[in-house]
Structure formats: structure tokens, C-alpha cells
Amino acid sequence: MTLGSRSHDPDASPEPLDPERILAALSPGARGAIARLEIHTEIDSTNRYLMREAATGASCGTLCLAECQTAGRGRLGRPWISPFGASLYLSMLWRYSAPPAALGGFSLVAGAVVADVLRRIGVEGLALKWPNDLIWGRRKLGGMLLEVAGEARGPSALVVGVGINVRMAPDQGIGIDQPWVDLAEVLGHPTVGRNALAALVADALIDAFQRFGREGLTPFLALWAEFDAFRGESVRILLPDREIRGRVLGIASDGALRLDTADGEMQFHAGEVSLRREAEFGGEGER
């Protein structure tokens, strides 16, 4: 593997991102699977960057982190506020021989394995909002953005971006348009270091990329269900042009959200779909 260069302001963050520390904390298998590790002081978006790199031939296993993002991206075209040193901004490129359409289920896989990492470091009461929002106490702790490119019949390049609020001062969170929380509040001080967290997340993603390639979504569904925040809840699905009300029945074997509606069971795939609890209407709620 090759190691990208980095530069940083040592006073701006208690623990600057450090490639040596991240690599040292990885399992040997994961370390061997990383083709290149890049840490940027500032970038537009780690996801956007890796999608550009993927288009020009970057290797499977390219991992990119940044201290801040100037154009961080969330799901559904929303911005992801990315102040310096406050959060984990991590993206990883993985290549599959399968077509892009076969990779939709990884949306849930990423949510399940990152939630599991957070539980292992002591986060209690963490919930997943389909497909992969990390929710704690009805506030958003983090989220994932999957982007894919490729040929209709394969191969494809998948970029998984993970954002986790680590220690974000209230003024840094101005502009976030929903209730949010960080690991510092959830775990108490001092919180987990971002290098250790980056290694745990990368380790879990690499293991999941490999297993998903062999076995698909099925082996991850039980883990996802352990964090399911919405099963049995009355919800609204917000589509670009309409809303659909119903009760969440669970997750289908392909990762679709199953909803019991007035017109019978309907299924929705992650994409241009936003999910809200019915109880949130008329009040402020997470998205």
C-alpha cells in the first residue's frame, strides 16, 4: 500500500488524524486490504473525491479521511456540515464485479456494522433509522452516504462515506437542520479518539465489503434488526412528489423497507426516500 501525505494544524484538534496510528490500530487483514490511505486537512467531500478517483482507476481499498469538508454531502442531496476536527469524515472505495444494481443492500450493511462498532465502544441505546441513520435519543449521531458507478452488467465501484459526530461544539453545529448529538455527550469525556474510531470503522467496513461480496445482505439482516428503531411504528414516507402513511413491518430480504399501508403492503428502497415517525409531525424531529 501507499500512504498519502498530510498536513495539519496541531492546535486545532486534540487528536489530529494520523495515518500511522490508524494503520497500527487496524487488524492485519484490514491493513492488507487497504490499497492507499489518504488524510486531507481540507477537502470538498471525501465521497466526491473518491468517486473522482474511482473514475480514473483508483484501486479497490482506497481509504480517504479529512479533518474537514467544505462541501460535505448527506443523503438526498442534503449538505453534511463538516467542521474541522469535530467529526469522523471517512470514505472507502471498494470494487465489485457485480453491477451497481446489486449493491443497494450495502446501504443497510454499512449501517449495521458501523452501529455495531459504536456499540462495542460503549454507545448504549443506539438505533438505526432505515436505511442507515445513526440515532441516539432521537438525535442524529451520524450517517452514511453510498455512491456507486459502473457498467449496467458490472463491474462497479462503490464508495461508502461515514460521518460520525465526535466532539462538536454547539457553534460548530449551527446550520445542522435537525437535532444532533456527538460521541462526547453520549460516552462522556474523554471520548474515543478519531484515529481509533477510524480504524474500527475501516476494519468493520472491509470485513463487510468482503463478506457482502461472498454472501450478500442476508447475514447482516439480524444485526441490522438489533438496532431497528422503527419496527411497528406509524410513519410517513416522503417521496419527491407525495407522502405515504403506514406502519413499519420490517425489512425485506433485499433491504427494502416494508410498510403496511391502507393499500396493502408496500416496499421502498433506499434512494430518494425519507422516513419520519408519524408522531414527529407538528413538532421538530430527526430526518
Q: Does 109 participate in binding ligand BTN (rule CB under 6 A)?
A: no
Identity of the amino acid at 210: Q
Work out how close the CB of 80 gets to ligand BTN at its nearest, in angstroms, rounded to a whole number. Answer: 4
The DSSP annotation for 164-205 comes to EE-S--GGGGTT--S-B--HHHHH-SS---HHHHHHHHHHHH
Q: Are 152 and 99 in contact (CB under 8 A)?
A: yes
Phi, psi of 84 (to 5 degrees): -60, 125
SS3 156: strand
Q: Scanning the structure block, which residue is given the C-alpha cell 443492500?
A: 105
Residue 135 C-beta: closest distance to ligand BTN, Å: 10
Residue in 31, 48, 73, 75 annotated catalytic: 75
| C-beta atoms surrounding 160 within 10 Å | 27
- Measured from the CB atom, the residue of 28 and 77 that comes closer to ligand BTN is 77
Shortest Å distance, C-beta 43 to ligand BTN: 8
Q: Give me the least distance between CB of 51 and ligand BTN, in Å please.
A: 10
69 is a site residue for ligand BTN (CB under 6 A)? yes
Among 23, 38, 47, 116, binds ligand BTN (CB under 6 A): 47
Nearer to ligand BTN, 3 or 71 (CB): 71
Neighbours of 12 (CB within 10 A): 12
**Closest-approach residue to ligand BTN (CB):** 143
Q: CA–CA separation, 176 vs 192, rounded Å?
A: 23
Cα dist. 275→81, 269, 281 in Å? 21, 11, 12
Can you say how many angstroms the Cα of residue 140 is from the centroid of all Cα atoms in its chain? 12
- Among 95, 129, 167, 276, the active-site one is 276
User: Whole-number minimum distance, CB 240 to ligand BTN, in Å?
Assistant: 16
* Using rule CB under 6 A, residue 105 touches ligand BTN: no
CA angle, corner 130, sides to 265 and 231, nearest 5?
55
85 binds ligand BTN (CB under 6 A): no
129 forms bridges with which residues in the sheet? 133
Site for ligand BTN in 131-190 (CB under 6 A): 133, 143-145, 161-163
Q: Is 140 a catalytic residue?
A: yes
Q: Which is nearer to ligand BTN, 55 or 265 (CB)?
A: 55
Q: Which of 140, 167, 194, 287 is catalytic?
A: 140
**Least Cβ distance, residue 212 to ligand BTN (angstroms):** 19
| Short-list 246, 239, 266, CA closest to 76 | 239
CA distance linking residue 258 with residue 128, whole number of Å: 15
By beta-carbon proximity to ligand BTN, the closer residue of 90 and 221 is 90
Site membership for ligand BTN, residue 80 (CB under 6 A)? yes
Instruction: Kindly tell me which of 43 and 261 has the beta carbon lying closer to ligand BTN.
Output: 43
Q: Is 195 an interacting residue with respect to ligand BTN (CB under 6 A)?
A: no
Which residue type, as a one-letter code, is found at position 137?
Answer: G
Pairing of strands 243-251, 62-69: unpaired
Closest CB to ligand BTN among residues 74, 100:
74
Question: Which residues lie near ligand BTN (CB under 6 A)?
Answer: 45-47, 69, 72-75, 78, 80, 89-91, 133, 143-145, 161-163
- Catalytic positions: 75, 140, 276
